[in-house]
Structure 1
């Protein structure tokens, strides 16, 4: 057992540690300090944890405390909304109508998140259940507030006076009015009731569509000879029928494995056809009714179709702009995609003879090409990415790019021993910008995906006669396997890319300086929100930064080799045009069915498939529209958004970083101040145009694929 003096000494080392500078040989010190800190934490005495200065986030609430806080949030919110509603329309002012709502949102955002985020991370079942129940109660209250005609009339009365106190406040007021009117508050009572009825019907049909897919238990039977190419480890996971054949289900992990690895073309085709036939006529009928109902809903609210309703709040603004964007991307990629397709056809001809190439062959022959052309063993690549080295590397890159520094905060309340907390400072002024919690490792009961959660948004609110500035607090959740004795925590390359992407959202969150919580953190245009994460992914493929974040786990002074760096970059863009063509196909389909009435969905998909996929026909008897959940719930008329943000991230990287140095701090600071700081307080196209010095373009996105593609 360490002495009290030694424990105090080690505690001081941890408080003073700045992870930024640890790369290459210095990373040995990081690992040594981490080990010492872990030993210290295991033996220290319990004592009261300190609070994070400026954070109103509460962690480690019990189940009863969560529910009590949720009920208190609802009571306070109702009081404020009642007070706003009680203001006579001829006496409405900014201070008695708008400011109370803005201040309530700023104050309650971290309180709401304190109730909601435990369902993602808590190890206690009762806490997760209480958190989910709290979210249900709060969501129900928010929904009721969105239907309050009295509050809407007060806001509308002030908005009609045109007394804007600033551009951000004007945008905030317009957003409040818009949100109410998208719920039908500007309609007659009869039409408003119809809007609510249609919304409920849309929700019911959407859930039915997805539930039908979830309930599908279809499986196919194959002999071992029919599954040649699949690893023995995979075959061991499959159930067997009485005739000793293997059961291959139509769950995505089974289908992906067969389509990518199985050497038997007939097996690939049978699985692809069965996968494309799921829920057949059943879901086709649901989707037809769903699209029809969405159009009725949108037209009641004054839009010409559902696509225009969905896109109106996004950067694209109109469905016609989305079509224009998708057509430009598709046409620009045609030549490269045709070349890629020809290479795959040649590969199939050499391996299977003179058999026609189908969409079911794409994944298999892409994998075969990669095996033949790239000297990449991702099992070996993983040995170069110890967790602590990747973390220190991303800290260093963000310091050099964005002028921010990270320091670990110790002795603060967390919900699990694995959780770490970091403060984020401006490098030049040492101003505290915000905090983020890092919950990296897998454990039972924890949310199963890598993501960033906003816990407290940047905002300026009024308390009495003084203003209070809320600083951002974020949470990064990941699912990394924790190290065990003799087996260090290593990241697969895909996990490195995912971690960098999510860290882009952390930087996006803590660098935001919007005055209203509604525009802060990740509360930005859905077409815009992914750009920072997609931008930071680029540093995972550049030799300079790859060497910064890598080191062989048995000797971390040895970074990843140059030839591997080059192979990773080529691998990134291999067959990317053909893959994007397939994604564009679904995006165009999604946009058309939500823009036009009475579309023959099956014939539309057949037509689009052949046109977009360079003459490749749709698999006979399949009906992808019956098993395309993004059209049903969550991304309807917005499937294009991922490509949209990826295109603009590529433009930013190519024009500001790749050509002028990937650690160009001038460009990084411009991105931080012009793009990240405003958040949702300005129009995204205006923000990007100001940063780029022109309107965003698809040119860089297409050119880089031609440059590094096949």
Structure 2
């Protein structure tokens, strides 16, 4: 008996991680696919007239076993992978692609959906049902259901190829990240580095049985080195390694893969009757079209560029005066920015870190969620975990009703990809009058506690934790009927609103008072530090905005035009960066070959949405500012109109219901000090 194919009999039906073996996955996927196919066949072969309930709703609830298996497997593939799991991913990804194509290209099923879609005006549907119907219909039409047979076959082949390429891309980036180590044996090369970074590097060295200190391309190791290490040559060495992931003459080179992916995506969009891949993607976004995205990015560029150039000149002059640096290079940016920031605000991460002990910051996020949304988080020890580092919580509302399971996984390890993300093991939905509650997880890469110190966060990591926790609240507070519209299943350029709005509380004295206490003495963070955190929040915001815009423009460059004449990744990038470039180019480096967001994650034609969501979050937080950052009425409105609604209606409708108006970019420009 395969545990993955049975309904879990654990507390709250949580995943029984300790009982799952890698060998279970392949057979479980095959059984899950067969079971989901049978459910779809039953819908297709039903002889009754197609109705919303027997077709659209039935489809939404189908494939539950397969979803459960996929959620467990792909979350482990990201957070606790190994060679065996990577091998299984290569094997099952094409099967899953083929299965989803079997559904999307099932003519008889589409006929039933279309019959309902064509008479939707007469059906008296709720807003959520209408959205689901629209989504189901488009999942066919946008995946070739209206195409003639031979074109459907072409589409299938494209999708299989794309899913393989994107996996390969990610595995190459991971291999390149793991392959590089900066091994330091001379203590003077550690000059400038904070104690925590040195201690972390010694522990990495021990774990790989080397003397001295080892720095890697993982963020908790890479960022402190680039920010604090006085040795410019070593910063350069590390930066070159970081920037050349997927761009070296070896078997992990991603250049061909990048070119193949953009060309296949374009071909797929054209096949479906769209001008470009971006046109295809943006039809299902708040932004709606490439033209709108370009004008959004260019508008922000126009406002941010003068500030960015001014800031860059200030930084250049500062580095020249301080160290006689003639030409500021990319590996100097973080280092001199930190020094300048310290000079201007006398505030550095090392001063702040003692006030941001991981456990206290997490409890602070819990307390804030309690004040805003009436939630309580209780650590529990009777829920299985996939690694000892994970902590598990039961989440309840103010009346003691069970709301969600929350997993938190905070430290780097070999089988875990870089960065931070929120994910779910089970979505919320309502079926047979039972509200199934979600299992939500956040995964980050913060510095591990050492023998002498707890895990202390940089301020940037504090905002990262709050950001992912905001996504988690979106998942936990979900209250929709259908699983495919629940939680974070929203338009991509809306999904960052709940996460980014949470970051705002990190800058508010009232909120910091709840968790920013010195890990040794317990004293609260001094008011002057809070003041400086607020003042420094817009430090170099012009440069940061330019950087984000450059990534968004590179993404749109790859996806909003015909890419068939592009054959040099690097040359193409230089063209895209022409308007946003401040530092001299580094010939050995490329961005695209490790731009996992758009070539492995789902951000293709969507990178602009970070900035788009910043406009939403700044505008939304203005209301909290006006009414009070813990104002219950505002929080309840945000929960009822945004967090609990998932993707049940068009996001602009939901947003306007909360805010009373469309978002205005002024709030963002004001917050960023660019007005």
TM-score class, shorter: 0.7 to 0.9
Q: Secondary structure at the match of 2:514?
A: helix
What secondary structure, in the 3-state scheme, does the structure 2 residue paired with 1:582 have? helix
Count of residue correspondences: 644
Match of 1:437 in 2: 407
- Cα distance in 2 for residues equivalent to 1:72 and 1:289: 32
Structure-2 residue corresponding to 1:41:
none
The answer for the alignment partner of 1:646 in structure 2 is 614
- Farther-moved stretch of structure 1 (431-440 vs 135-144): 135-144
Conserved in 2, the CA contact under 8 Å of 1:381 and 1:493? yes
- The reply on whether 1:188 has 2:181 as its aligned counterpart is no
Do the aligned residues in 2 keep the contact of 1:226 with 1:267 (CA within 8 Å)?
Answer: no
Give distance in 2, aligned partners of 1:320 and 1:532.
26
Match of 1:565 in 2: 530
Match for 2:628 among 651, 658, 661?
661
TM, length-normalised to structure 1:
0.77
Contact persistence 1:168–1:681 (CA under 8 A)? yes
Q: CA deviation at 1:629?
A: 5.2
Q: Is the 8 A contact 2:308 2:546 kept in 1?
A: yes
From the superposition, tell whether residues 197 and 651 of structure 1 become closer, same or farther in structure 2 (CA, over 3 Å).
same
Cα separation, partners in 2 of 1:350 and 1:652, compared to 1, 3 Å: same
Corresponding residue for 2:33? 74
Q: 1:47-58 residue pairs with structure 2 within 5 A?
A: 52=11, 55=13, 58=16
Residue 349 of structure 2: which of 370, 375, 378 is its match? 378
Matching residue of 1:170: 130
Cα distance in 2 for partners of 1:502, 1:698 equals 23
Conserved? CA contact 1:459–1:516, under 8 Å? yes
Matched residue, 1:368: 339
Structure 1 residues 96, 505: CA separation in 2 closer, same or farther (over 3 Å shift)?
same
Q: Using the alignment, how far apart are the partners of 1:280 and 1:381 within structure 2?
A: 42
Is the 1:403–1:426 Cα contact (8 Å) retained in structure 2?
yes
1:378 Cα deviation after fit: 2.7
Tell me what 1:31 maps to. Answer: none
Structure 1 residue 348 corresponds to structure 2 residue 319: yes
* Matching residue of 2:4: none
Match of 1:498 among 456, 464, 479: 464
How far off its partner does 1:523 sit?
1.9
Map Cα deviations across residues 261-319 of structure 1 (whole Å, 9 max, x no partner).
Answer: 56677887788788767449986666455433322221111111111112222221211
Q: Please give the secondary structure, in 1, of the residue aligned with 2:138.
A: helix
- CA deviations on 1:622-653 (whole Å, 9 max, x unpaired) are 76556655554433322222222233222212
Distance 1:646 1:187, change over 3 A: same
Rounded to whole Å, the distance in 1 between the matches of 2:265 and 2:37 is 31
1:209-261 CA distance string (max 9 Å, x none): 667767778999999999796759599999xxxxxxx9999998998677655
1:681 matches 2:648: yes
Q: Which runs of 5+ in 2 are unaligned?
A: 1-7, 206-212
Residue 576 of structure 1 deviates from its aligned partner by 1.9
Partner of 1:322: 293
* Cα offset, 1:517, TM superposition: 0.2
Question: Residue 545 of structure 1 aligns to a residue in which SS?
Answer: helix
User: Which range moved further: 411-420 or 178-187?
Assistant: 411-420
1:691 aligns with 2:658: yes
SS in 2 for 1:325: helix
- Relative distance call for 1:412 and 1:324 in structure 2 (3 A) is same
CA distance in 1 between counterparts of 2:416 and 2:218 reads: 23
Determine the C-alpha separation between the residues in 1 that align with 2:349 and 2:468.
Answer: 21
Cα deviation, residue 487, structure 1: 4.2
Match of 1:636 in 2: 604
Cα displacement (A) at 1:536 = 1.0
State which structure, 1 or 2, has the greater radius of gyration over its C-alpha atoms.
1
Pick closer, same or farther for the CA change 1:171–1:298 going to 2, 3 Å: same
Q: How does 1:130-169 map to 2 (within 5 A)?
A: 141-162=99-120, 163-164=122-123, 165-169=125-129
Name the residue aligned to 1:243. Answer: none
User: Residues 310 and 229 of structure 1: is their aligned pair in 2 closer, same or farther, counting only changes over 3 Å?
Assistant: farther
CA shift at 1:512, angstroms?
1.1
Q: Residues 373 and 639 of structure 2 are in contact (CA less than 8 Å); yes or no, is this contact kept in structure 1?
A: yes
Q: Report 1:521-540 matches (<5 A).
A: 521-540=487-506
Alpha-carbon distance, 1:694 to partner: 1.2
Using the alignment, how far apart are the partners of 1:197 and 1:50 within structure 2? 39
Tell me which residue corresponds to 1:199: 159
Relative to structure 1, the CA distance from residue 171 to residue 221 in structure 2 (aligned partners, 3 Å threshold; closer, same or farther) is: closer
Contact 1:305/1:595 (8 A) holds in 2 = yes
Q: 1:459 aligns with which of 429, 446, 460?
A: 429
2:59 aligned to which of 76, 101, 104: 101
Q: Considering only aligned residues, what root-mean-square deviation do their CA atoms show, in Å?
A: 4.4
Q: Relative to structure 1, is the Cα distance of residues 230 and 69 closer, same or farther in structure 2, using a 3 angstrom cutoff?
A: same
* Deviation string, structure 1 residues 485-518 (Cα, Å, up to 9, x no partner): 7644544444332222222122111211111100
User: Kindly tell me: are residues 627 and 490 of structure 1, through their superposed partners in 2, closer, same or farther at Cα, counting changes over 3 Å?
Assistant: closer
For residue 552 of structure 2, the aligned residue among 587, 591, 611 is 587
Unaligned runs of 5+ in 1: 1-48, 239-245
Whole-Å separation in 1 of the counterparts to 2:201 and 2:80: 35
Residues 540-555 of structure 1 mapped to structure 2, 5 A cutoff? 540-555=506-521
Moved more, 223-232 or 382-391: 223-232
Q: Which moved more, 1:472-481 or 1:316-325?
A: 472-481
Q: Single out whichever of 510-519 and 134-143 deviates more from structure 2.
A: 134-143
Q: Is the 8 A contact 1:390 1:549 kept in 2?
A: yes
**CA positional deviation for 1:367:** 2.4
Structure-2 separation of matches of 1:255 and 1:440: 17
Q: Deviation of residue 697 (structure 1)?
A: 2.1
User: Structure 2 CA distance, aligned partners of 1:517 and 1:542?
Assistant: 35
Q: Which has the higher contact order (CA 8 A, sep 6+)?
A: 1
The one-character-per-residue Cα deviations of 1:530-580 (angstroms, maximum 9, x if unpaired) are 221211112222222112112222332x11111222222333321121122
Q: TM-score, normalised by structure 2?
A: 0.81
Residue equivalent to 1:6: none
Identify if the C-alpha distance between structure 1 residues 601 and 323 changes in structure 2 by more than 3 Å, giving closer, same or farther: farther
Are the aligned partners of 2:60 and 2:483 in contact in 1 as well (CA < 8 Å)? yes
CA deviations on 1:638-686 (whole Å, 9 max, x unpaired) are 2222222233222212x12233322222211111011111111111122
> What is the CA distance between 1:176 and its match in structure 2?
1.5
Cα 1:567–1:144, aligned 2, differ >3 Å: closer, same or farther? same
